[in-house]
Amino acid sequence: MRLTHPAQTMEIAFDDDRLVAHAGLVPVMRLAEDVGLTQTVNAAVRLSGPVGSNPGGKITAIVAGMVAGADTIDGLDRLRHGGMGHLFDQVYVPLTLGSALRAFAFGHVRQLQSAARQILAGLVGTAPVLLRDAGDLVFVDVDSLLRRVYGRSK
């Protein structure tokens, strides 16, 4: 496949404030809203200090950024361009999200795990609707184990 224009005559600009580059976030964040991601995290996680307000909104923004491809705190800035402000409320500055993440200690991680269990239970409740055409058997691997696995039995 080839481009139809030579490189020196082609210019690409995303300068329209109504343009949304990551429109796939809409159904994912609708699902997160349906299962109560923000409210569940707000109820479970207690951060102290100036970064302690609305942890649910901040975690939801971080999840949205990760879905959009952010792999660093600076990468979360992709939630603040174009028409994203028209789609989502609580669009935080990456510095604010980074400060909230740095405030997490071991106990906060345990609180977040508790919220994650509740959210997973909410997602299970939506599975019959989401997977109605999946057939008789569906495997969903949801765990936090991050290590190499070896052997035929795996």
Q: What is the reported pLDDT for 2?
A: 47
Examine the pLDDT at 60 and tell me if it is beyond 70: yes
Whether the CB-CB separation of 63 and 12 falls below 8 Å is answered with no
Q: Considering Cα of 19, then 76, then 100, then 56, what sign does the dihedral take? A: positive
Q: Does 9 fall in a domain?
A: no
Does the residue 79 lie in any domain? Answer: yes
pLDDT-based confidence at residue 118 (cuts at 50, 70, 90): very high
Q: Identify whether 144 is part of a domain.
A: no
Least confident of 25-29, 62-66, 72-76, 97-101: 25-29
pTM: 0.71
Residue 5 included in any domain:
no
| Alpha-carbon separation of residue 97 from 37, 53, 55 (angstroms) | 16, 11, 9
More confident residue, 4 or 53: 53
Q: Whole domain around residue 59: which residue ranges?
A: 15-130
State mean pLDDT over 67-77: 89
* CA-angle at 45, arms to 78 and 34, nearest 5°: 60
Instruction: Report the interhelical angle of 37-44 vs 55-67 (nearest 10°).
Output: 130
Q: Which of 20-29, 30-39, 118-127 has the highest mean pLDDT?
A: 30-39
pLDDT of res. 153: 62
Number of domains composing the chain: 1
List of residues 6+ apart from 147 with CB closer than 8 A: none
pLDDT of the residue at 78: 85
Within-domain flag for 152: no
Determine, yes or no, domain membership for 125.
yes
